[in-house]
Amino acid sequence: MKTTAFDFEKITEKYGNDKTRLMDMLIDIQQELGYVPQEALPVLARKTDTSQAWVEQTLSFYHFFRRQPSGKYTVFLNKSVVSWMMGRERVARTFEEEAGCRFGEVSPDGLIGLFDTSCIGMSDQEPAALINGKVFTRLTPFRVREIVRNMRSGKPVTELSTSGYGGGRNALEVIRSEVRNNIQRKGPLLQDNYQYGEVLRQKLKTLSPEDVIREIQLSELRGRGGAGFPTGLKWEFCRKAKGERKFIFCNADEGEPGTFKDRVLLTEYPELVFEGMTLAAYAVGAREGILYIRYEYKYLEEHLHTVLRKLREENLLGKDIAGMQGFDFDIRIQYGAGAYVCGEESALLESAEGKRGEPRFKPPFPVEKGYLGFPTIINNVETLCDAVKIIHFGSEWYRSLGTEASKGTKVLSISGDCRYPGIYELEWGYTVNDILDMSGAEEVQAVQVGGPSGTLIGPEEFDRILCYNDLATGGSFIIFNQRRDLLRNVVLNFMEFFIEESCGSCVPCRNMPWLLKQKLEKILNGHGVWKDLEDLESWPGIMRINRCGLGQTAANPVISSLRNFRALYEERIQKGRSFDEGFELEKAVEESCKAVGRVPLI
Amino acid sequence: MNKKVIATTSLAGCFGCHMSFLDIDERILDLIELVEFDKSPIDDIKKFTKECDIGLIEGGVCNSENVEVLKEFRKHCKILVSFGECAIMGGLPAYRNTIPIRECIEEAYLKGPSVEEANEEGILPNDEELPMLLDKVYPCHEIVKIDYFLPGCPPRADLIWQTLYALVTGEETEIPYEVIKYD
């Protein structure tokens, strides 16, 4: 066994044998070996003074952690809705043919492992895959054949593809990625009218922490991750909370299918993100910051570290920041390992503490008892960028943008059936129709606003406006044209996503999406009766009692499609039948009769 | 008033639910004033002799005979009640649902420790008189429409009694929480 020689203790020691750094240890092992071997577990348990079960519960939670060797090249092909729409099927088939194994397996020679994964934040350039952590976008059967050929000739993962680098910083030495930014429309946030560091160096000279919080409150900035909590209020709570240490978290775990704006912000504007964290630290009196970023964006690691180093050199991080005596703050990067639920802030904290990403009960809220039990701010990437610009240009300026009730702008991730998918920064208040025009979408059947946990709306609602009191969104905006089968291609895919991504803590979230999916399949297969529609309507009510936002919204694809596209369901319901479970005796006995060698007698 | 007619059966069950039924004790005397039994293990009538008002089903559906019996019940009973865990969710027999049927058969007739030597010729039961096994154990409501469900393993006698009494007399009943609480 070559792994017995591997020095697991060196890895635990790198993180001070600290059990709250278990994620980092597992990620390092995974990175080194391509999987986490069983013999690592006792070592990790002993060195971190936990049990093997403790290590295992974390290890088994995240789908990028492999327990078995998963190929010299491990391919994770995205199975999100947009990936299917853009031709995933042919790409997957070609991978299987070329690699000689099916998805979920490793090729017989151990060279290539093929696996599915949920949305990897590339919806504007699908189908996309992660191969050994590197992103490959806009895959075609032709490119897959090329990639597999290069694998067979033993090329390193950086040389598998011959397509050029994506624009902007994607071409930097430290990224070298074919990912494209596709920034289609810049608003006040994305406009390059600001030199990073100015707020820390200039504005904070005359602003006390209380002034900063007041300014943010006056701007009426609300969380841009989707929940829309007033940012200034959050900061004020955290400032007032008592704690020996305080933490600033930036939530870069954007896992809502169809969202990819944080990826672009972190590629092009990381200085602004880190400055936002530093500003929040100044406001609440924190000295430690953590960027929690999804594993899918690990290809940005070197880039982000380079920026952090630069900021330290320029005295925008570290000790006595920008010459302010006693203002110390630094940031480390924490990776996830593949779990949508970790975007929920308390699950994110659990994960950052080295545990399963299961949401906590609230209260207490993170601002009182967050990371390691200390008061903690968790803000979305975009929110932190907004905060910097607000302090720079003033709350008055920010309040002049947007609508009466929703101030400022929102960065949207637009994908699906349109000519110009990508990033659009818009003031709140545009209608869905405006956005469809902008993105070059035609013959639109439906739009999914806010990702699977959001709403599916049809043309009669395209005059609704994007804002907190009409169509609120964390940024995901997926367009479906007339050719799409909404139930089979969209709703079913979303339900599979929620089944996969439930953390399993709350019973309704663990079971209901699965039951709803079964009902849906029954209807799609022509066995539906009216009672099934009644069930689909009445059952999801129980989802309210789930602990977190993911669980509470996990039935939304069914609820909103049933509300807005009821005809699609009704046309598939059998008329004149009140009961049909779709049971077919012939099929049910087929296998057992074969096994014992008899002819079925029906 | 005509007596209501009841039929009962045990499909893929252990007869525990029927045993629990008998635990209504002396109330069985009251019951027999109200109802008569048709097809049921209680009176050993094998085939339906008339149309019934209420059918009680114990056990899930594991083979083709279960399917046939259950469909007969649906045909002859106005109201069908799944009583007990197995009828409602498949219960213990459904543990095999995660294992392919071929493996189940091999374990039972070829590889299991108790049959290894007894079945040297490796015979598998394939006489056409035998019921055919289904790919998995189904709850009753996935085969026919079921009107009521009585939970429990087994359901308590009080629950069975109150339910039957209510169905027979048409009077509303209040079932105390303790009677349907199982954890």
Domain map of chain A by residue range?
Answer: 3-59, 73-163, 185-399, 409-484, 487-570
Beta strands in chain B (DSSP E): 4-10, 35-37, 52-58, 61-63, 77-83, 133-138, 148-150
The torsion angles phi and psi of B83, rounded to 5 degrees, stand at -120, 125
Asked whether the beta carbons of A377 and A235 are under 8 A apart, the reply is yes
Interchain CB distance below 8 Å, B128 and A601: yes
- E-assigned strand segments in A57-107: 73-78, 105-106
| Residue A361 to chain B, least CA–CA distance (Å) | 23
Nearest to A600 among B124, B132, B138 (CB): B132
Which chain B residue has its CA at the smallest distance from A577's CA?
A: B145
Q: What is the CATH number of domain A487-570?
A: 1.20.1440.230
B132–A601: do the CB atoms touch at under 8 Å? Answer: yes
CA distances from B28 to A466, B21, B173, B176 (A): 67, 9, 18, 21
Distance from the first to the final alpha carbon of chain A: 54
Fold that domain A73-163 belongs to in CATH:
Glutaredoxin (3.40.30)
CATH topology of domain A185-399: Rossmann fold (3.40.50)
Nearest CA in chain B to A527: B142
- Strand B77-83 and strand A288-293: the pairing is unpaired
**A588 contacts in chain B (CB < 8 Å):** 134-136, 138
**% chain B with pLDDT above 90:** 86
Distance between B1 CA and the closest CA of chain A, angstroms: 32
Torsion of CA B20, B24, B30, B31, to 10 degrees: -20
Answer yes or no: are the C-beta atoms of A491 and A557 closer than 8 Å.
yes
Residue A208, SS3? coil
d(CA A21, CA A13): 11
Q: Tens digits of per-residue pLDDT, A225-247?
A: 988 999 999 999 999 999 999 99
Answer yes or no: do A595 and B125 touch at CB < 8 A: no
Overall pTM surpassing 0.80 (yes/no):
yes
Tell whether A579 lies on the interface with B, counting CB pairs under 8 A: yes
Written as one letter, the residue type at A535 is: D
* Closest residue in A to B141 (Cα–Cα): A581
The answer to whether domain A409-484 has CATH 3.40.50.970 is: no
Residues in chain A with CB shorter than 8 Å from the CB of B141 are 581
Q: Is A592 on the interface with B (CB under 8 A)?
A: yes
CB atoms A579 and B144 under 8 Å: yes
On chain A, the residues whose CB falls within 8 A of the CB of B138 are 583, 588
Count of A-B CB contacts under 8 Å = 57
Residue A31 tokens read as: 């990175």
Domain of B141?
4-95+136-180
The answer to whether residue B162 sits within a structural domain is yes
Residue A119 and residue B131: Cα distance in Å, rounded?
A: 47
Q: What is the pLDDT of residue B1?
A: 58
User: Which residue in chain B is spatially nearest to A578 when comparing CA positions?
Assistant: B145
Q: Report the chain B residue with the minimal C-alpha distance to residue A602.
A: B64
Residue contact A591–B100, C-beta within 8 A: yes
In a domain, B131, yes or no: no
Residues 6+ apart with CB under 8 A from A56: A41
The alpha carbon of residue B133 is apart from the nearest alpha carbon of chain A, in Å, by: 6
Distance to chain B for A519, nearest Cα, Å: 12
Chain B residues whose beta carbon lies within 8 Å of the beta carbon of residue A598: 126-128, 132
Give the E-state strand segments of A458-576 in sequence order: 476-481
- Span A13-27, pLDDT tens digits: 999 999 999 999 999
pLDDT score of B181: 81
pLDDT score recorded for residue A4: 55
Strand partners, A414: A422, A477
Of A477, A432, A436, the closest CA to residue A454 belongs to A477
Q: Which residues of A touch B132 (CB under 8 A)?
A: 589, 592-593, 598, 600-601
Task: Show the CA angle centred on residue A343, arms to residues A364 and A450, nearest 5°.
Answer: 115
pLDDT of res. A1: 45
Instruction: Give the distance from residue A562's alpha carbon to the nearest chain B alpha carbon, in angstroms.
Output: 24
Asked if A591 and B135 come within 8 Å (Cβ–Cβ), the reply is yes
ipTM of the complex model: 0.92
Whole-number pLDDT of residue A448: 97
pLDDT given at position B120 = 86
CA distance B125 to chain A (A): 7
Hey, what are B138's tokens?
A: 């189904």
Q: CB contact, 8 Å: A1 with chain B?
A: no
Nearest chain A residue to B136, by CA: A588
CATH code for the domain of B16: 3.40.50.700
Interface residue of A578, A592, A593 to substitute, partner B, most B CBs within 10 Å: A592
Mark yes or no for CB contact B101/A579 under 8 Å: no
> Which residue of chain B comes nearest to A599, CA vs CA?
B128
Domain count along chain B: 1
**Chain B partners of A535 at a C-beta cutoff of 8 Å?**
none
From chain A, pick out residues whose CB is under 8 angstroms from the CB of B142.
581, 583
| Buried b / exposed e along A413-422 (16+ C-beta atoms within 10 A) | bbbbbbeebb
Alpha carbon A481 to chain centroid, angstroms: 25
> What are A248's strand-pairing partners?
A289, A377
CA dist., res. A489 & res. A87, Å (int): 12
Q: By C-alpha distance, which of B26, B8, B145, B172 is closest to B84?
A: B8
CA–chain centroid gap for A531, Å, is 36
Distance from CA of A117 to the nearest CA of B (A): 24
Q: How many helices (H) and strands (E) does chain B have?
A: 6, 7
Contact list, A602 vs chain B (CB under 8 Å): 64
Q: Backbone phi, then psi, for A135, in 5-degree steps?
A: -95, 135
Residues of B in contact with A597 (CB under 8 A): 124, 126
- Residues of chain A with pLDDT > 90: what percent? 95
- Nearest CA-CA distance, residue B126 and chain A, Å: 6
Q: Where are the beta strands (DSSP E) in A188-317?
A: 247-252, 288-293
Quick check: A549 and A344 in contact, CB under 8 A? yes
Q: Using the beta-carbon criterion (under 8 Å), do B138 and A590 form an inter-chain contact? A: no
**Phi/psi of residue A4, nearest 5 degrees:** -60, -25
What are the mean pLDDT values of chain A's consecutive 10-residue runs (602 residues total)?
73 96 97 94 97 97 95 96 97 97 96 96 96 95 96 93 87 93 96 94 96 97 92 97 97 95 97 98 97 97 98 97 96 96 96 97 95 97 97 96 94 97 96 97 96 95 94 93 96 96 95 96 94 96 94 96 96 93 93 94 84
User: Which residues in chain A have Cβ-Cβ distances shorter than 8 Å to B67?
Assistant: 583, 585
Contact yes or no for B37/B8 (Cβ under 8 A): yes
- Tokens matching residue A442: 């035609």
Burial class (CB in 10 A: 0-12, 13-18, 19+), A108: exposed
Tell me whether residue B19 is in a domain: yes
b/e A495-510 (16+ beta carbons within 10 angstroms → b):
bbbbbebbbebbebbb
Calculate how close chain A gets to B139, using CA atoms only, in Å. Answer: 11
pLDDT at residue B155, as a whole number = 95
Instruction: Judge whether B108 lies within some domain.
Output: no
Distances (CA, A) of A251 to A52, A523, B129: 29, 39, 65
Is B110 within a domain? no
B133: which chain A residues are within 8 Å (Cβ-Cβ)? 589, 592
pLDDT for A6 equals: 87
Find the CB nearest B101 among A581, A592, A598: A592
Q: Which two tokens stand for residue A356?
A: 């399963």
